[in-house]
Amino acid sequence: MLYDEPTSGIDPITSAEIIELINEVQQQYNTSSVIITHDLTCAKNTGNRIAMMIDGKFQNIGKFEDVFDSNDQQVKDFYNYNFIQ
């Protein structure tokens, strides 16, 4: 399945429902998914492998925690913007 920004521009409650549906489809039909998103909550809750792109090139690939455990300032900024600390 290919999802392009499935949670973009919607409220957090509906976002959570969509994330749940994506996970249900993956489990029920034993499918793989490619989810293109800027929403790190969606990426974290649906993906077992994350690919971070910067300027059209893959910067980091791996588990969510590994991808964002980076010294790269752009990666840190993107993470912090999504999860305002």
Going from the N-terminus, what domains does the chain have, and what CATH number goes with each?
Answer: 2-82 (3.40.50.300)
What is the reported pLDDT for 84? 66
Segment 20-38 mean pLDDT:
96
Segment 9-24 mean pLDDT:
96
Question: Residue 26 and residue 31: Cα distance in Å, rounded?
Answer: 5
Chain centroid offset of residue 43 CA: 2
Segment 43-48 mean pLDDT:
95
What is the reported pLDDT for 83? 78
The CA-based angle 6-50-14, given to 5 degrees, is 25
What is the reported pLDDT for 82? 84
- Extended beta strands in the chain, E state: 2-4, 34-36, 50-54, 57-62
What is the reported pLDDT for 85? 56
Check whether 67 has a pLDDT greater than 90.
Answer: yes
